[in-house]
């Protein structure tokens, strides 16, 4: 199956990259193990979601180049997540900034690629969104680790997961939201701000102020969506 080949190839490539960074980059074997285990877990979750009835479907026989781009972004997120707990010199932090920036730019590729190839799907849209959410959480953790903001910065990365958890108690939160340029813009602003905050030349006070402003913006965006869903929920009888 095409998806299985894509996931297997991505796992092998990530293992090679993690090994090279662990040995050549001086990060050690523990970094490589963390990265491979994390991506293996994520790849397994993607495979499960392809067949789970409660997940939006992927009706195409091919996994598609767009989903492969999203898978690449997921792999980078796993590599960056494995850096949590590692001591990074300033030069390595700059490498993280460059890699995170390239990954963020790829976010503008997978959607148009899916539509142009005729392989757009609800699964692909959800895959893209959840990858963005994980990438945001990883960036928040790295900003905190770098001392650029306090642990409160994790609220930006955890907000999506808190929203999903809240839907278990209030099912109307799981209703479908219409497409929104505002939501896309806030996501871009959030990720861009966190990458800027990671820059070694950005003073911690400025980074904290930028992260706080983007958190307020994200909170407002979620509040608008929650208000819409509350107004649209079925009337109780």
Across the chain, which has 237 residues, the per-10-residue mean pLDDT values are: 85 89 77 91 90 76 88 94 86 89 89 84 88 96 95 96 93 86 92 95 96 96 94 69
Question: DSSP string spanning 114-163?
Answer: HHHHT---HHHHHHHHHHHHHHHHHHHHHHHHTTSS-GGGHHHHHHHHHH
2-232 maps to which CATH number? 1.20.120
Q: Give the per-residue pLDDT at 151.
A: 96
Can you tell me the distance from the alpha carbon of 127 to that of 138, in angstroms, rounded to the nearest whole number? 16
Contact 70, 107 (CB under 8 A): no
Q: Give the per-residue pLDDT at 52.
A: 78
Angle (CA) 172 177 181, round 5°: 150
Q: Give the per-residue pLDDT at 237.
A: 44
Q: Give the per-residue pLDDT at 69.
A: 92
Contacts of 167-174 with CB under 8 Å at 24 or more apart are 172/229, 172/230, 172/232, 172/233, 172/234, 173/226, 173/229
Contact 82, 18 (CB under 8 A): yes
Q: Give the per-residue pLDDT at 236.
A: 56
Helical segments of the chain, H only: 2-23, 29-51, 65-81, 90-117, 122-145, 154-169, 181-198, 204-232
**pLDDT per position as a tens digit, 147-196:** 999 999 999 999 999 999 999 999 999 888 888 889 989 999 999 999 99
Q: What are the boundaries of each domain within the chain?
A: 2-232
Can you tell me the distance from the alpha carbon of 39 to that of 164, in angstroms, rounded to the nearest whole number? 22
């Amino acid at each position: 199956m095409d998806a299985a080949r894509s996931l297997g190839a991505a796992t092998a490539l990530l293992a090679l990259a993690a090994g090279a960074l662990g040995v050549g980059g001086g990060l050690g074997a523990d970094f490589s193990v963390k990265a491979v285990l994390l991506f293996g877990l994520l790849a397994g979750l993607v495979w499960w979601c392809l067949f789970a009835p409660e997940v939006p479907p992927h009706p195409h026989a091919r996994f598609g180049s767009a989903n492969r781009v999203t898978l690449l972004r997921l792999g980078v997120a796993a590599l960056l997540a494995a850096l949590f707990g590692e001591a990074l010199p300033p030069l390595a932090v700059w490498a993280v900034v460059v890699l995170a920036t390239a990954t963020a730019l790829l976010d503008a590729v997978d959607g148009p690629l899916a539509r142009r190839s005729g392989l757009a799907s609800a699964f692909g849209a959800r895959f893209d969104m959840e990858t963005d959410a994980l990438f945001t959480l990883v960036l928040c953790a790295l900003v905190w680790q770098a001392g650029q903001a306090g642990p409160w910065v994790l609220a930006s990365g955890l907000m999506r997961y808190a929203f999903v958890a809240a839907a278990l108690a209030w099912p109307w939160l799981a209703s479908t939201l219409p497409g929104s340029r505002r939501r896309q813009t806030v996501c871009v602003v959030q990720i861009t701000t966190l990458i800027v905050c990671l820059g070694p030349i950005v003073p911690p006070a400025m980074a904290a102020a930028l992260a706080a402003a983007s958190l307020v913006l994200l909170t407002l965006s979620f509040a608008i969506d929650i208000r819409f869903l509350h107004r649209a929920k079925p009337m109780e009888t």
